[in-house]
Chain A
């Protein structure tokens, strides 16, 4: 695998460094070289890298990292902090106009994902704020671009304004805005055609549209897989338009997304949203700190937790929690839990967000069978209501019945029931505040995730260790978050 995360790189570079107590200029140089290469490898623009490394170097030589216990880690921390700062520390919300409508205009290269982003963002606003957006189809160049927006609008029940391809985009926007005023839409999205930043005619058109619409938000849409070219694109568009923010798309790929850093550096504008999936709901707020970890290849625990929180039905969750505490967690809850986990998306994606997993070579080809979940569900569905509520009822004869009912081998039924028991025990401990119990469980004979996942997980001691570490960290953060909420 070509990608190594920065921690690995630095550990390697600093192997000679630890234990000597003093760091020479030569060592520092080697370190900076690794940082530089790691960033270049992640597609960060090389001018940006240069600036960035100079900054880090200054900080690193100024700080007393050279005497630290683990210099590699400390350098990574400095790099991570610096990355986060460069990308703008905090998530920046959408600009809103004091009076309706708020006008949002898209710009970007061909195939960056403008139309898809328009639909996703409009849908997000509709869902979260009960907004009534209007989409203006101003891409008259690409064949069927208007159809694409219309179909998306129809599926998401969002009105689309269009005048076909024979009308000048400027006129379409003018009339579309009038229409929005008439309908009292609170958001207006202008979907423009993709264009090269060097195409003067089309760039002028974009400028004119901006002049006409006076948008509150001009979002540059950039493909996260873009290479060194990201800087030029950003330069070109920000010179022509008064950009207010950036949307980074296709982040669900396996790109490191160094483009984020270059764009931020060149435009100085915040990245506001990231697109990471094919579904209309797959648009998330951009968090610089998480992106920093991703560029460095260090996983993204926060997103994972957030995803869990958002997609989990809170009320159902509370009920389950109560049940767990009382140790009455039964198979009905088990199925509900399974469904919630499934609703969070493919297991592989979730795994990748765990630190150390992202670029774990052992995980490169993990392919967790989605059917595994359905099989478990089928077994539960073969149970009588009484069995579901009282798991202790299930004796070998009943197990045989379940196996034939679900069409699964009996070993699978046995395994599932065993896992369920462990889960129940563990949950009971966890919810009663004994997090240490989890570690013991995981380390000992406890829940063997790899067997549950159908053998797809990395086996052996290493995989186990990584899992334990990740889960411990996640648990700690969850606990912290809990405390925070408690204070409020």
Chain B
């Protein structure tokens, strides 16, 4: 049974249960203002609860969980789902509206149809190459399926997208990797203004609450106020920050922080780097240097190099991933500002083009709005309204 069918089933189940609404409400998250920290004190309970259940049900996407043991998995999964559903509200309605508009114009499968389809897909930031690929693939398929009604066409297209998404993600490993004995070093990289420092702030809050000892390294010595910004996050999360002088060599800060983390046995060290455009060769080399130092001090480190991508970025996102991957062996992606985009198609493009797993996704300004990425929840959140 493919993903597509699972979702279908899920959707049907949801429809039948709609009236009951047994899911615990998350209303306390809904009315909160931006960056209100006190809210998060309530977070660990939900989070831990969630983690525990997840542990006991390791592969919660498999049919057995979703279908045979609804009692156990309903609650945490529903919460997770609700967060995705809410966070992707804009993406979904944007995509659904666009898609429905496209379907409304459907008369027959001809050249115009494919042109419109390409535009619809590119319009959702699915990525240029992928949009063309989907439409090319469908050129044969739709003919085969002999679709005449809009609903048939819709199902074929969505199935195609889900299948492609699934196929591309076969060997994908979206889990975070930790150093079993010693400090785990996590390096964050990305272009300017995507939210690297904010992401570190959120991640360190999360891990701190899980009882890990966390250290932050303020290796963005270039941007005015960047160190201060990280220190502020450190203060909020109750996590120490290693910082250097303004305009100091970031590698020196990294060195100091790595040595401190290793010698004082911190569980996790987050390294915040300055934003850099991927085509700036000198700055990319600076990144390599930092990586070399980390590796020299702690063999095997950094255990994670996370590329932070702004979800509202267009085709350039792929270019960013390519060049950052080349210079610093990115192991995963953090997709930020997902709540601000009506597209979300970027997730398809990333998986299709980059062979890099999305590990975290940011739906808002609060620490709890940064979620582990659940591909299936994501897809479901995107296409929910489009499935009958």
Q: Which of B230, B313, B337, B341 meets A110, CB within 8 Å?
A: B337
Q: Are A113 and B193 in contact (CB under 8 A)?
A: yes
The distance from the CB of B341 to the nearest CB of chain A, in whole angstroms, is 5
Q: Are A40 and B337 in contact (CB under 8 A)?
A: no
Q: Mark A150-161, 1 if CB is under 8 A from B, else 0.
A: 111001000000
Residue of A nearest to B111 (CB): A29
**CA of A147 to CA of B341 in the docked complex: distance in angstroms?**
29
The distance from the CB of A366 to the nearest CB of chain B, in whole angstroms, is 9
The distance from the CB of A373 to the nearest CB of chain B, in whole angstroms, is 14
Q: Which of B122, B123, B231, B278 meets A254, CB within 8 Å?
A: B278
Q: Which of B6-14, B161-169, B293-301, B315-323 contacts A (4 or more CB under 8 A)?
A: B315-323
The distance from the CB of A293 to the nearest CB of chain B, in whole angstroms, is 18
For A228, list chain B residues within 8 Å (CB): 122-125, 314, 343
Q: Which of A136-144, A320-328, A401-409, A443-451 contacts B (4 or more CB under 8 A)?
A: A136-144
With A2-B129, A228-B314 known to touch, is A141 a contact of B122 (CB < 8 Å)?
no
CB of B87 closer than 8 Å to a CB of A: no
**CA of A278 to CA of B191 in the docked complex: distance in angstroms?**
12
With A111-B192, A198-B340 known to touch, is A40 a contact of B119 (CB < 8 Å)?
yes
Q: Are B229 and A142 in contact (CB under 8 A)?
A: yes
With A2-B129, A229-B125 known to touch, is A110 a contact of B193 (CB < 8 Å)?
yes
Q: Are B343 and A253 in contact (CB under 8 A)?
A: no
The distance from the CB of B204 to the nearest CB of chain A, in whole angstroms, is 13
Q: Which of B314, B337, B339 meets A225, CB within 8 Å?
A: B314
The distance from the CB of A159 to the nearest CB of chain B, in whole angstroms, is 15
Q: Mark B22-51, 1 if CB is under 8 A from A, else 0.
A: 000000000001110000000000000000
Q: Mark A195-213, 1 if CB is under 8 A from B, else 0.
A: 0101101100000000000
The distance from the CB of B102 to the nearest CB of chain A, in whole angstroms, is 11
**CA of A201 to CA of B31 in the docked complex: distance in angstroms?**
11
Q: Are A46 and B122 in contact (CB under 8 A)?
A: yes
Residue of A nearest to B35 (CB): A141
**CA of A233 to CA of B312 in the docked complex: distance in angstroms?**
10
Q: Are A225 and B115 in contact (CB under 8 A)?
A: no
Q: Which of A112, A148, A202, A259 meets B224, CB within 8 Å?
A: A148
Q: Which of A33, A42, A111, A255 meets B310, CB within 8 Å?
A: A111
CB of A226 closer than 8 Å to a CB of B: yes
Q: Are A112 and B193 in contact (CB under 8 A)?
A: yes
The distance from the CB of A349 to the nearest CB of chain B, in whole angstroms, is 9
**CA of A401 to CA of B123 in the docked complex: distance in angstroms?**
64
Q: Are A46 and B119 in contact (CB under 8 A)?
A: yes
Q: Which of A150, A196, A370 meets B340, CB within 8 Å?
A: A196
CB of A60 closer than 8 Å to a CB of B: no
Q: Are B312 and A226 in contact (CB under 8 A)?
A: yes
Q: Are B193 and A50 in contact (CB under 8 A)?
A: no
Q: Mark A459-482, 1 if CB is under 8 A from B, else 0.
A: 000000000000000000000000
Q: Are B191 and A225 in contact (CB under 8 A)?
A: yes
Q: Mark A1-30, 1 if CB is under 8 A from B, else 0.
A: 010000000000000000000000000000
Most A Cβ at <10 Å: residue of B228, B278, B312, B318:
B312
Q: Are A151 and B277 in contact (CB under 8 A)?
A: no
Q: Which of A144, A152, A232, A255 meets B316, CB within 8 Å?
A: A255
The distance from the CB of B333 to the nearest CB of chain A, in whole angstroms, is 16
Q: Are B125 and A202 in contact (CB under 8 A)?
A: no
Q: Mark B190-225, 1 if CB is under 8 A from A, else 0.
A: 011111000001000000000000000000001111
CB of A223 closer than 8 Å to a CB of B: yes
Query: What would 7 A/B residue contacts be, using CB atoms closer than 8 Å?
Result: A40-B118, A143-B229, A144-B225, A144-B232, A202-B34, A256-B315, A256-B316
Known: A145-B229, A253-B278, A255-B314. 5 other contacts (CB 8 A): A37-B128, A37-B132, A149-B224, A225-B317, A278-B222
